[in-house]
Chains A and B, each alone.
Chain A
């Protein structure tokens, strides 16, 4: 499988850039120039929610639910 980063920087076999092939494309970026900060933020929020819910479920609902089994 060709490396996607190199594929997007080099023009393809027709010798035309992506902009020339498709005028709807206004700017071409390599995969590493593409920075989905919105997705990253949502992902971090999601991880924070999962971690917090886990802490609540495990330490409060499970371990904090006295009386517990002591032996």
Chain B
């Protein structure tokens, strides 16, 4: 079969384009050190009460001599606990690790306008660590359809200056 040389050229070019896409993704995850949510742990969604999710909220921990924070969040129909009734308050420029799970159905935990975004799957614990670089409020939205009031499921993260961080809201 004879293929016109222009056509041969753009067929080759499309393979170059695919190689370029793959190369940028490899570059992102190797050189730029991008991270995505992995599989951290499984959990019995019926018995969250016996775990740290039974008392969700912000915990202070010391890791490698540094003060860090752990945030345990339950996503429920149709709220983030904590997050919806009261905002999740964390200090700026500090390592914060989120642990998120769902006791009921599939939800999403998307910190709007950022790369922080995970599914909340019953039976699975999603874990990610981040550092909030500026003092501001972020919205959290559920981005997986979870029922009739899915569209109103939202919450807030309040990033405050370290000096204004109120430790009385921490959970044990």
Point out residues on A near B: beta carbons under 8 Å: 1, 3-5, 31-32, 34-36, 39-40, 43, 47, 50-51, 54-55, 58-59, 62-63, 65-71
**Which of B50-58, B69-77, B128-136, B161-169 lines the interface with chain A?**
B128-136
Q: A62-B28, A70-B131 are in contact. List 9 more A-B contacts (CB 8 A).
A: A31-B2, A31-B4, A40-B9, A65-B114, A66-B114, A67-B115, A69-B116, A70-B35, A71-B129
Contact, CB under 8 Å: A39 / B6: yes
The listed residue (A1, A5, A65, A71) touching B128 by CB distance below 8 A is A71
Query: A69–B35 contact, CB under 8 A?
Result: yes
B44 → A minimal CB distance (Å): 25
Interchain CB contact under 8 A, A32 and B20 = no
Q: Per-residue 0/1 for B96-119: is the Cβ within 8 Å of any A Cβ (1 yes, 0 no)?
A: 010000000000000101111000
Contacts of B13 in A (CB 8 A): 43, 47
Q: Please judge, given known A-B contacts A36-B6, A63-B34, whether A70 and B130 are in contact too, CB under 8 Å.
A: yes
The answer for the CA separation of A58 and B34 in the assembled complex, in Å, is: 11
CB-contact partner of B10 in A43, A66, A67, under 8 A: A43
For residue A61, which residue of chain B has the nearest CB?
B115
Q: How large is the interface on B (under 10, 10 to 19, 20 to 34, 35 or more residues)?
A: 20 to 34
Task: Flag if B37 contacts A69 (CB, 8 Å).
Answer: yes
Neighbouring B residues of A69 by C-beta, 8 Å = 34-37, 115-116, 128-130
Bound state CA distance, A40 and B146, in angstroms? Answer: 48
Within the complex, which residue of A3, A34, A62 is in contact with B4, where a contact is CB–CB below 8 Å?
A: A34
A54 touches B2 (CB 8 A): no
The answer to whether A67 touches B129, judged by C-beta atoms less than 8 angstroms apart, is: no
B1: CB under 8 A from chain A?
Answer: yes
Are A68 and B115 touching (Cβ within 8 A)? Answer: yes
Tell me which residues across on chain B come within 8 A of A58, comparing CB atoms. 24-25, 28
Residues of B near A4 (CB, < 8 A) are: 2
Give the complex CA separation of A66 and B121 in angstroms.
24
Q: How far is the CB of B121 from chain A (nearest CB, A)?
A: 17
Indicate whether A65 sits within 8 Å of B115 (C-beta atoms), given known contacts A35-B6, A51-B20, A70-B131.
Answer: yes
Determine if A3 and B115 form an interchain contact, defined as CB atoms under 8 angstroms apart. Answer: no
